[in-house]
Amino acid sequence: MGDPYKLSVREQAAVARAPRRGSGKQWWNLPAKYEAAKRIKAGMRGFAGHNDAGDAMRHAELSRRLAAEIDPLTAYLAGVSHEIDNSVPVWAQRYAPPFLREHARENWHGQAPSEGLMDLRNNAEGRWAARDGRPVDARRLQASPGGQIPDEAPYQRRIPAK
């Protein structure tokens, strides 16, 4: 009697034809997703600026690539955690106990909440571009904090009139 766990020739052929999923696509493999996100971010070149059209496109394109190459949830979590990390110093300067405020002002430099909201909005456009299988549309990006928000926000879907 042979090994009951040995695959038959037909089963071996089926396994060989089965599509392989990369470790970054497995929902539970967080270390692989983190490494893939770092690799994608390191490969982002040609985007310069701060609080301008280049910054908006950098946020959207990175989010689009993370959503397309890893998954949308990872793209969302990476974007939100990055903006929280950038905003903590500002909140600490405003709301920390008085004995910590001076230390926060001297040592922590962060971004204003309006900058974080702008970046989150541009990240959303990138995830939607990945979902729709299209490039990022620069007309849908917010290029400055508190600036003009495009008419068609990435989270709005136009419903055709009947």
In tens, the pLDDT along 71-82 reads: 898 899 889 888
Alpha helices per DSSP H over 53-112: 53-69, 72-95, 98-107
Other Cβ atoms less than 10 A from the Cβ of 126: the count is 29
Tokens 């541009």 map to which residue?
A: 122
Please tell me the predicted confidence (pLDDT) of residue 113.
Answer: 78
Please tell me the predicted confidence (pLDDT) of residue 17.
Answer: 64
From 129, 153, 133, select the one nearest 141 (Cα to Cα). 153
By the 8 A CB rule, do 68 and 131 touch? Answer: no
Q: What is the pLDDT of residues 46-64, one digit of tens each?
A: 777 788 888 899 999 999 9
Residues 6+ apart with CB under 8 A from 17: none
pTM for this prediction: 0.68
Q: Taking the chain, what is the end-to-end CA distance rounded to the nearest angstrom?
A: 68
Share of residues in the chain with pLDDT > 90 (%): 22
By the 8 A CB rule, do 52 and 122 touch? Answer: no
